Amino acid sequence: MHDMIKLQHLLHGADYNPEQWLKYPEILSEDLRLMALAGVNVVSVGIFSWASIEPEQGRYTFDWLDCVMDGLHSIGVKAFLATPSSQRPNWVSDKYPEVFRMDERRVRNLHGMRACSCFTSPVYRQLVANINRKLAERYAKHPALMLWHISNEYGLDCHCPLCQSAFQSWLKERYDHNLEKLNDAWWTPFWSHTYTDWRQIESPSPQGEFGSQALALDWKRFVTKQMVSFMKNEIAAVREFSRDVPVTTNLMGTFGGLDYWKFAPEVDVISWDSYPQWHGRGEFDRSGPFGASNYNRDTEGRDWALAADVAFVHDLMRSLKDGQPFLLMESTPSVNCSWVQKQKRPGMHLLSSLQAIAHGSDSVMYFQWRKGRGGIEKFHGAVIDHFASTENRTFRDVAEVGQALKMLAPAAGTRIDAEVAILYDWENRWGIDAACDPRRDGKTDYEQTVRNHYRPFWRMGIACDIVNEDADFAKYKLLVAPMLYMVRPGVGERIEAFVRNGGVLVATYWSGIADESDLCFLNGFPGPLRQTLGLRSEELDALYEGDQNAIVIQPNNPLGLAGEYPARLFCDVIHPEGAETLANYRDDYYAGRAALTCNRFGVGLAYYIAAQSDERFHLDFYSALARELHLKRALETEIPEGVSITRRSDGESDFIFVMNFKPITQSLKLPQPCRNLLGESVVDGTLILGAYGVSVLTTGRE
């Protein structure tokens, strides 16, 4: 946690929307009583309160918020005070038409919903800065204030004329005011798209330019830059009155529209909103009325596989600020706006909440504290139901988490030490998505591919950081970089140095294809990685779903692998140029050709997995590598499928989270006696975890 906060304990709380209840004073005082019973010590207030604190321009009604802040303080609950920019009041729309977002079809949104403002509009920036200043001026010194919650889930891009002209200006800077440079980088002679004036450049649109992949990439970079600059504008206004209170903004995990690596340096603490669909059946691939999100379900409906995917995002969030603890800002205490609102089965709430802590969060927070009586989210899970009984299962589950977090207080601020880095890079993802080859059916799924390579480490209890291409790789033993399609300038050289100096790299098919402008490398794929990997890729064969090929492991290979594994969807036909072949293809015109290679380079090793394989292959391959490299595990024991183990530590005390994501009892052997922090008992020999059970063990002084 950022040292501005210096947490002595873990945080437990929720989004709190008292502005919806101002006509129900008895409910507001009841809220305070219930917060204490639920073990809540923090709430996020004011996220959607703009209309309630500035009902008309220049008239402020802070009295109700004063009461709320004072009330929270009276019971020792802290506030994350939000800036309200994510939805503007009606009067703003009435007066200032330029603030309306325009979508990619160049259609202006009407007033309504939320997150529908233009982030370039100087008027909108001004109005937001103004309300932020007022809030900061009034509450900077309030004893309940703990953190500024800047906006809410920045997301949608805007294509209005103001954004178009800001985009053109940004491009001028990027290409040194030299249009020829842009034309070269974007390969515009293709289909006679050469620009002769900066004003001809427009953002991608389904009715216009949607074929220029370089344009699509630069647009996404611009949108990230513009959103970050909007956020900085918000923060600067707050900082005029509130210098030492930390700031955060709640991120959306692996949301595809923004590069969160660019947000991280501008906030003091990373926070994110996590909504996995537990107990799903896999057939629903949309998360709800607010759009698709694919980290929140497992296609085969396995809770434990979904848990691994969620763990990946927690690890990403922790890694965004170099391992500093993050905040789980929102999660649901029961259900969210999914297509099927299946309730969490007993145990799952505590388990999934502690999973965030296990991966480096210092909080468990919910959307939301109390269900509203009306509106689109009135059936969304909340700590307090329409009938506000403390006997409700959800309330009891939440109170149980509150208790557990108290017992785990010493874990606050502890860190996770990782020897493995998994490379996940937003620009690379944009490059792959824009290219949409070698399959045009969405199966070139970069995010899922990265998670597939992460999962074996999750299963083995080996900690991973998630890094992007700009990271310092040198501190890791192993760098896993699946589908590194885009290699930005200097990255190939840094990966090469990492391996030369003793690092181990794992790369796959569809790597080293294009540069940061999506221009293909001309010196043979995998471009800048060719020498490090010791091979050349000649052609990538994309297979149909039912097509079968196999990777046949060579006998006596150094990793001790044996047998056959499936090769499916992508088979790279390669020429080893110094790399040793560990496995070959079984069938087709490339039967007998290399399918898995290892290149000795300097004092390091570079593996290349030429074909997409399955979970069994990943587990066997990475288990062998983990053995070879003596990678540290959270606990030296055999881990049953579905159980995950992580370790947080402050150097003196260790907190070992053992989590069972299967609906059956499972057990494992402990290498030494441990104290169970949740049960205050000593566990010796075998640890038994019930269905969706979790234990937190300590071996240190705590």
Which residues are tagged catalytic? 153, 330
| Smallest separation, CB 290 to ligand GLA (Å) | 7
| Smallest separation, CB 317 to ligand GLA (Å) | 14
CB distance 317 to 270 below 8 Å: yes
Phi, psi of 497 (to 5 degrees): -65, -40
Q: Which of 152, 188, 324, 613 binds ligand GLA (CB under 6 A)?
A: 152
Question: Closest residue to ligand GLA, Cβ-based?
Answer: 273
* Strand pairing class (674-676; 681-683): antiparallel
Angle between helices 213-239 and 161-174 (to 10 degrees): 100
Furthest-apart CA pair in the chain: how many Å?
78
Q: How far apart are CA 165 and CA 172, in angstroms?
A: 11
Q: Which of 336, 361, 449, 698 binds ligand GLA (CB under 6 A)?
A: 336
660: contact with ligand GLA by CB under 6 A: no
| Smallest separation, CB 15 to ligand GLA (Å) | 6
H/E stretch holding 38 reads helix 25-38
Q: How many CB atoms lie within 10 A of CB 673?
A: 11
Strands (E), 373-477: 420-423, 464-467
| Smallest separation, CB 81 to ligand GLA (Å) | 15
153: contact with ligand GLA by CB under 6 A: yes
| Smallest separation, CB 377 to ligand GLA (Å) | 6
**Closer to ligand GLA at the Cβ: 153 or 218?**
153
Q: Which of 4, 32, 337, 519 binds ligand GLA (CB under 6 A)?
A: 337
CB distance 498 to 473 below 8 Å: yes
CB distance 241 to 137 below 8 Å: yes
- By rule CB under 6 A, what count of residues binds ligand GLA? 10
330: contact with ligand GLA by CB under 6 A: yes
Cα-based angle 173, 428, 528 (whole degrees, multiple of 5): 90
Per-residue binder mask for ligand GLA (CB under 6 A), 376-405, x = binder: -x--x-------------------------
**Closer to ligand GLA at the Cβ: 273 or 425?**
273
| Smallest separation, CB 566 to ligand GLA (Å) | 37
Q: How far apart are CA 241 and CA 245, in angstroms?
A: 10
CB distance 216 to 256 below 8 Å: no
Which DSSP state fits 387?
Answer: S
Of 222-230, 255-263, 330-338, 493-501, the window that binds ligand GLA (rule: CB under 6 A) is 330-338
Residue listed under structure tokens 């995998």: 526
* Interaction residues for ligand GLA, span 163-222 (CB under 6 A): none
**Closer to ligand GLA at the Cβ: 153 or 465?**
153
**Closer to ligand GLA at the Cβ: 367 or 657?**
367
Q: How far apart are CA 645 and CA 655, in angstroms?
A: 10
Q: How far apart are CA 277 and CA 335, in angstroms?
A: 8
**Closer to ligand GLA at the Cβ: 15 or 654?**
15
Q: How far apart are CA 166 and CA 161, in angstroms?
A: 9
Nearest Cα residue to 478 out of 492, 461, 462, 458? 462
**Closer to ligand GLA at the Cβ: 330 or 362?**
330
370: contact with ligand GLA by CB under 6 A: no
* Strand pairing class (643-649; 686-689): unpaired
| Smallest separation, CB 22 to ligand GLA (Å) | 19
367: contact with ligand GLA by CB under 6 A: yes
| Smallest separation, CB 337 to ligand GLA (Å) | 5
* Interaction residues for ligand GLA, span 266-295 (CB under 6 A): 273, 275
Residue listed under structure tokens 């959103």: 227
**Closer to ligand GLA at the Cβ: 364 or 658?**
364
**Closer to ligand GLA at the Cβ: 338 or 646?**
338
Could you list the residues that contact ligand GLA (CB under 6 A)?
152-153, 273, 275, 330, 336-337, 367, 377, 380
